[in-house]
Amino acid sequence: MNRLIKTFSILTFLLVAAFLHAQAQSVNITPERKRAIDSLALEKVRDLSKYISIIGDKATSMTESQRVIERTMELFMEGAQMGVSSLNRKGVRYYPVQKYLERLRALNYQRINIEWYNIQYISDLVQQPDGKFVGVITIYQRFEGLMEDGMRYVDVTKKDITVYVERKQQQIGGRLIGFWDVLLGDIKVTETKRG
């Protein structure tokens, strides 16, 4: 009888261990999956770049830019902020993302031209304590503003964008379908060149 209980206990332990192991494995990100997540995240970053260009464009109407700001905010986790550092000032200035976009819209230039470099760097995804994965995508932006008196302001900024990746499930037609949800987080904006 004792032997039976012992065997049963071992079997139960092995089953629980195997289940826990499977659970742990289920969130592993293989290189193929990482590539798929990277392109999903890059898509969001490209959307962000596109929206920033539209918001900054003086030809965009107030109603349209407001709509684009709202769309932009949907890309972000709640509470995400922009930390801005410049070449001639120490430290980082913090802005909530919405405020940053509104400031961009209100810039006092007659014409603004925002372009994005064809360079991006994507870090590995690292799991944080709550199980979500976090990575950083680095991109570069060239900003050119033309004042009414013809004065030109140009800068190049590096944008380090936090990307949160979470495994979620959704019920579609009675079936649970798993998918990777990608949201943007804090962005560090560093001025790299002024000209």
> Tell me, what DSSP letter sits at residue 173?
T
Q: Which two tokens stand for residue 53?
A: 């260009």
Of positions 64, 74, 115, 181, contacts another protein by CB under 8 A: 115
CA separation for the pair 130, 153 (Å, rounded): 43
The piece of 11-19, 74-82, 98-106, 126-134 that touches another protein (CB under 8 A) is 126-134
CA separation for the pair 143, 155 (Å, rounded): 5
* 135: helix, strand or coil: strand
Q: Which residues between 13 and 32 bind another protein (CB under 8 A)?
A: 27, 31
* 105: helix, strand or coil: helix
The piece of 13-21, 70-78, 120-128, 172-180 that touches another protein (CB under 8 A) is 120-128
Q: Are 136 and 161 in contact (CB under 8 A)?
A: yes
CA separation for the pair 112, 58 (Å, rounded): 7
Q: Which is nearer to another protein, 70 or 124 (CB)?
A: 124
Closest separation in Å from C-beta 91 to another protein: 4
Closest separation in Å from C-beta 114 to another protein: 10
Tell me the CA distances in angstroms from 62 to 122, 137, 152, one per residue in order: 34, 30, 24
Closest separation in Å from C-beta 13 to another protein: 22
Q: Are 47 and 75 in contact (CB under 8 A)?
A: yes
Q: Which residues between 58 and 97 bind another protein (CB under 8 A)?
A: 83, 87, 90-94
> Tell me, what DSSP letter sits at residue 106?
T
Q: Could you give the string, one character per residue 142-181, with x where binding to another protein holds by CB under 8 A and - elsewhere?
A: x-x-----------x-x-x---------------------
List residues near another protein by CB under 8 A.
Answer: 27, 31, 49, 83, 87, 90-94, 113, 115-124, 126-131, 133, 136, 138, 140, 142, 144, 156, 158, 160, 190, 192-193
